[in-house]
Amino acid sequence: MTAYKTVNPATGETLKEFPIATAEEMEQSLASSHAAFRSWRSTPVEDRATVIGRVAEIYTERTEELARLIATEMGKPLAQAKGEVKLVASIYAYYAAEGPGFLTDEPLAVASGGDAFVRTSPIGSLLGIMPWNYPYYQVARFAAPNLMLGNTIMLKHAGNCPQSAVAIEQIFKDAGLPEGAYVNVFFDNDQVAEVIADPRVQGVSLTGSERAGAAVGEVAGRNLKKFVLELGGSDPFIVLDADDLDATVKAAVNGRITNGGQACTASKRFIVLEDLYEPFVEKFTARMAAITPGDPLLAETKLGPLSSQRAVDDLIEQIQDAVDNGATLRTGGHQIERAGSFMEPTVLTDVTPGMRAFSEELFGPAAVIYKVASVEEAIELANGSPYGLGGAVFSADVEKARDVADRLDTGMVFINSAAESQADLPFGGVKRSGVGRELAHFGMNEFVNKKLIRTPR
């Protein structure tokens, strides 16, 4: 059976296929990862840092080929694909530079005297389950801190970006990572459950859908394994006021269409105070309508195809449900009639509870704009989502924006900026957006043994 294949979403052409691992191959991956942990954890931290630093260098050296690969596999515009590779290189470089310091023993002041400290130690082989929308970045958020820590990794990537998955594994090999410390695996769902349950595996990290997160969390919990879940998002973009409405609208549109709108942290719900609502809708709709999706391999393309035809079909169903139930379609709403899975940029207003677009994540270039009468109503609407990943607050009064940010039930909030990712900023959410944190020093404090070593007086 084949579940891993490259289908170019710009053409619909199947380019390459890979078979699911056999039972023997699965056992070999488990044994290899477990065996590698014994030696990798004992490798001096400075040597681990050297390898991780070399990974960063290779990403930079191979920017062009790596960017073209993900543009072909999941449709990311080439300029954005190069930006992803640059971000990934910065993450590995960050942990190579800062990781050793994060592992320094933490002394404790003990009232009864004597000596005590906490040592941060790795726990073993981990399973990573990663999505297709940021093929290199999602892996880096998980792999960089945990390899620096001394854990080893088996990585199950998404079924539609297998060549990217193979390229990642090759980079680690070329950087000098020991055999078995990072193993790419082509597992199916049943094999994933088996691997999580295996006593040689100590934890699992998943970035993906709520359904996948619930399934993985259930198996991990049943087997008493640590897990980190980064799930869906329906991030609010709150506009309180604006000295420069055009700049605010530009940031809003970029926050919605980057990566084809296929990002958990993309701005999805635009909540605008009523004084600015009509001009915001007019300017936002005009900008969205002016965007023409194109070939992701062309440097000028800002919006490529969605990842698959199924992604287009799912998004259109959500949009049609809203329109059928009274929402106003300001622009878009249809698939573009050409080869590939291209979708018109879409704007909806007058979306109300009961419509799928009100409560579900829209994973594509479709925005919902809401009008509110007060700051309190904006906060209530923003917090009414089952998700709590990120958000943005725009205002000329930064302190006012920070006050609103403090009251949002999210893991991240950005002031006068759409969501962005940096190696030294923590990433993660609350509610149905998941559990745990990645990046910054938080990324090295999830799959760890915080061991107390105590010498009484």
Buried (b) or exposed (e) across 1-31, using 16+ Cβ within 10 A?
A: eeebbbbbbbeeeeeeebebbeeeebeebbe
Which helix (H) or strand (E) segment is 137 a member of?
helix 137-149
- Minimal CA–CA distance to 283: which of 335, 343, 242, 324? 242
Which residues have a Cβ under 8 Å from the Cβ of 190 and sit 6 or more positions away? Answer: none
Sorted by sequence, the CB contacts under 8 Å of residue 409 that are 6+ apart come out as 382, 383, 388, 430, 431
| Residue 326: both structure tokens together | 């009274």
The active-site residue out of 230, 344, 361, 446 is: 230
The verdict on whether 65 is a catalytic residue reads: no
Active site (annotated) includes residue 264: yes
Q: Read out DSSP for 86-132? A: HHHHHHHHHHHHHHHHHTS-EE---TT-SEEEEEEEE--EEEEE--S
- Tokens read off for 99: 């990781």
Catalytic residue from among 264, 344, 361, 446: 264
3-state helix, strand, coil in the chain (%, to 5): 45, 20, 35
In the DSSP assignment, the letter for residue 2 is E
Nearest to 307 by CA among 377, 260, 242: 260
DSSP run (H or E) holding 15:
strand 13-19
Q: What tokens were used for 435?
A: 């559990």
Tokens 């993660």 belong to which residue? 428
What are the catalytic residues? 230, 264
